[in-house]
Chain A
Amino acid sequence: MDYFTDIAWAQQVKEGQRIGGDAVFLSRTEKDDRNICILSDGLGSGVKANVLATMTGRMAQRYVEEEKDIIRAAEIIMNTLPVCRERRISYATFTICEITADGEARILEYDNPPYIMIREGRVMEVEKIRRELNRPSAFKKEEILYSEVKLQYGDRLIFFSDGVTQAGLGTPGYPLGWRQKKVAQFIEGLMNTDRMLSSWHLTRSLTRQARFLDRGKAMDDITALSVYFRRPREILVVTGPPMDQKNDAPMARRIAEFPGKTVLAGGTTANLVSRELNRKLTINLKMRTEKVPPASEMEGITLVTEGMLTLTRVAEILEKKDEDALSGYDGASRFAALLINSDRAVFLVGTRINEAHQDPSIPFEIGIRRTIVKRIAAALETNYLKKTTTEYI
């Protein structure tokens, strides 16, 4: 089965704190291709809470990576971590979600708000197994919840901290906070507007709305994590003319026939494709910044940009995870946003040397195309957990 697990999270840190007391850990195991997501919420806020949440999250991550059963992993964590003496409660609540290569999701919850499962755009109830723990140090009976879901295309699992469910607490509209039911309705509302919404956008909409209900100042750490199981969205990026002119036509055909989104980066490349496919290239002089030359439009191509300056800026945005840049109206911003909203990127790099870039009159150094593409691919893999392939022609 060809699928992709789109995972992303977003956070609004409690007003006045620089560091969140909620921590998220994401990883993918090399060996058996499992995705592991952990959301933990440390008692209190600020640095101390962050340390607690981080310790809990790291332990969970390590145990699950080591293929420990997640119920067992949770028990070990709870027996290892101390209980807060004054308040007699655990130092951190947590949720562990493990998704196997064939879409089997296993979820373990300890005291975080229940996760929301979406199927066909609606909330779906999941049966959960309750398990009581009797720690001598604990004041009250503690329970963990375990559930399993066989994911289908389009399914989503949405996890969040209590900063989300308690958002707006004490305000006239939400005296008891946003609460689970309203959060679920909000997510269904998002699904009504865009059934294909990426995890990146969903988590941002959710955390922004929660902060909005808190009257613009987060009263607690607000964190959301989303898993979206879907068919892979592919993007083809073509930059540079092929070494051998014989390959011009096959390259253009490959672009025309590509099933996903397509980006052309580079004037020579764009002219070549325009000629081969007999499609007009129109430069949009408005779509630019001081450092990023104008982007262009061509029928059937998602985006056409200039080459080296744009690619360099894309690499910067992805490396720094500069999310503010993504809303910009220029070639590099749009390019980076397209990459983030795809699951797999194929880079087709032409290797005919572009003499222009060895021009000594250019005031600063422009990198080599290959190197920049490598930086972009690496940033996509490490910062955004995307899959990439690069071919040289």
Chain B
Amino acid sequence: MKNIDLEICTGTTCYLLGAADLIDVLENLPEPLRERINLRGVACEDLCKSGSRPPFVKINGIVIGEMTSERLLATLENTLGGTTC
């Protein structure tokens, strides 16, 4: 089973526009799922000034904007195989 590298931007704009909720979701995932995610916070790297919309996460190296809790859960399920939760 492969793990996921998940980076989440905790900068001002991202945090205000939803990163706070995303972190809550991630921290409250069931253990077996949570254990497979290498979660890491990152400071603003100016993606929010690039035109696309915050909040930003990076999943296995791929940047995704406008992340919501639902989309995040769906993405995790897809990537991890959907059987764990």
Contacts and interface: CB of A to CB of B under 8 A. Distances in A.
Contact of B12 (A285, A288, A290, A357): A357
Interface stretch (A6-14, A103-111, A151-159, A266-274): A266-274
A356 interface: yes
Interface string A169-203: 00000000000000000000000000000000000
Interface string B7-20: 01011110111011
Given A271-B43, A285-B23, A288-B23, A294 B10 contact: yes
Interface string B42-80: 111110110001000000000000000000000000000
Nearest to A281: B43
Contact of A271 (B10, B16, B19, B45): B45
Contact of B16 (A283, A294, A309): A309
Contacts, number: 71
A1 interface: no
Residue in A271, A281, A291 whose Cβ sees the most chain B Cβ within 10 Å? A271
Contacts of B13: 356-357, 359, 362
Nearest to A357: B12
A281 B7 CA distance: 14
Interface size class of chain A, counting residues whose CB lies under 8 Å from the partner chain: 20 to 34
Given A288-B23, A290-B20, A363-B16, A356 B41 contact: no
Given A283-B10, A306-B10, A362 B23 contact: no
Interface in B1-47: 8, 10-13, 15-17, 19-20, 23, 27, 39-46
Given A296-B43, A356-B49, A362 B11 contact: no
A293 interface: yes
Interface in A193-252: none
Interface in A350-367: 355-357, 359, 361-363, 366
B17 to A, nearest CB: 7
Contacts of A290: 20
A285 B57 CA distance: 14
B39 A293 contact: no
A307 interface: yes
B12 A308 contact: yes
Contact of B15 (A268, A284, A306): A306
B41 A294 contact: yes
A246 to B, nearest CB: 20
A293 B20 contact: yes
B17 A309 contact: no
A290 B10 CA distance: 12
A363 to B, nearest CB: 7
B12 A309 contact: yes
B66 to A, nearest CB: 11
Contacts of B49: 355-356
A295 to B, nearest CB: 9
Nearest to B15: A293
Interface of A: 267-268, 270-271, 281, 283-285, 288, 290-291, 293-294, 296, 306-309, 355-357, 359, 361-363, 366
Interface of B: 8, 10-13, 15-17, 19-20, 23, 27, 39-46, 48-49, 53
10 contacts: A267-B12, A271-B45, A288-B23, A306-B15, A306-B43, A309-B12, A309-B15, A356-B48, A356-B49, A362-B16
Given A356-B49, A362-B16, 15 more contacts: A267-B10, A267-B43, A268-B44, A271-B45, A283-B40, A285-B39, A293-B15, A309-B12, A355-B49, A356-B13, A356-B44, A356-B46, A357-B12, A361-B53, A366-B12
